[in-house]
Amino acid sequence: MGASSNGGYCASNYASYCQNRRFSKEVLDNVHGTIYLDPLALKFVDTEQFQRLRDLKQLGLTNTVYPGAVHSRFEHSLGVYHLAGEVAYRLRAQQDPDFPVEDFDIKTVKLAGLLHDIGHGPFSHTFERQFLPRFLSGAPWSHEDMSISMIDYIVDKHHIDIEPECLKKAKDMIVASTEHGSRNSPTEKQFLYDIVANGRNGVDVDKFDYLVRDSRACGVGCGFMFPRLMGSMRVLGDEICYRAKDYLTVYKLFSTRAEMHRTVYTHAKVKGIELMAVDALSKANESLGIADAVQNPGEFWKLDDTILKRIEVDERPELKEARDLVLRIRRRDIYQFCNEFAVPKEKLDHFNDVTPQDIICSQKSSDVTLKEEDIAVSTVQIDLTRGSSNPLER
């Protein structure tokens, strides 16, 4: 063992580790320091489809309230790629010499981390959860499934030479936490599928990266320290486990996520701007064919956050309503936050979502009479990823 000279990697694997870095490209990241992109990763990174992630802000429209939140899905993807590799290397180094983590497994896990978000649309979850449901009927659309389609498109478009088994497993790892992925869970080495997107207990490197990166960009504190967990993880019974004394550190992961949702991701003004952007996209959809593009990877990759600028500068009369909404966002004439109601925990199971009609029916006499079209309701659930259950029981 060479604990200091090789970062904790066992000597038998250190030669291949150094060989990989020899042919890697160095990228300096403001969260993780130097990230080494191996030759396979570069085949994907150096495509216009992956470079598109530079024009997708990690936090969508949050920068309209938190000016520093302009970091992109590009840097987040590199961060998850880096952490996925670090976890895989550490697991191999910290287990028995015959532990079944091979170079092939590490390469596959890293690729899954790199490409896990390549299927995101403009403004990320706002696009997926608020805009698309207005226009898509039938099976729900997800960015994870779109990531799979985009990966296949990139491989075909750029003739990327990659082992079919590596490609298949990387795609399976991306959707592992979804309902679709859970139905096709592997029968061996399942712990590898929990590194990037952990559907079993929610502890994964995707959260490790975005919680630290988002907190830093928004200027809010982050009490969660992922290096502590990475230093103690072990595989027991085909599942990644942690020391009992790290219980509070794991809890801090979930509580930090909840706090970020409460103070940043669902900030009232951010929600108002998101609703305006969704309305603008909806009014421009027929002219620009935005929703149609999600069925075709060759068109989908052309969509990014610059869609609002396209609307703003397009002088066609049919885009006037959409253009006016974008101008309102620019001029800070934003939908006004009216009120909020926190549902008591004991009533959650019997609570029905509030509708604009409910609010209209309950308004009292005043100088202002609201109509249904004047009201937008945003229902937000903030928990520790497992609803009313404690994720630490997993």
Using CA atoms, how far apart are residues 100 and 95, in angstroms rounded to an integer? 9
CA angle 225, 66, 124 (to 5 degrees): 80
143 among known catalytic residues: yes
DSSP E strand boundaries for the chain:
25-29, 33-37, 234-236, 239-241
SS3 content of the chain, % helix, strand, coil (to 5): 55, 5, 40
- Residues 40 and 21: their CA atoms lie apart, in Å, by 12
Spatial separation of the C-alpha atoms in residues 175 and 152, rounded to whole Å:
14
Q: What is the SS3 assignment for 42?
A: helix
Contact assessment for residue 386 and residue 202, using Cβ atoms and an 8 Å cutoff: yes
User: Residue 186 burial (CB < 10 Å; 0-12/13-18/19+)?
Assistant: middle
The catalytic residue among 32, 71, 120, 143 is 143
Report the C-alpha gap between 191 and 189 in whole angstroms: 5
Active site residues: 143
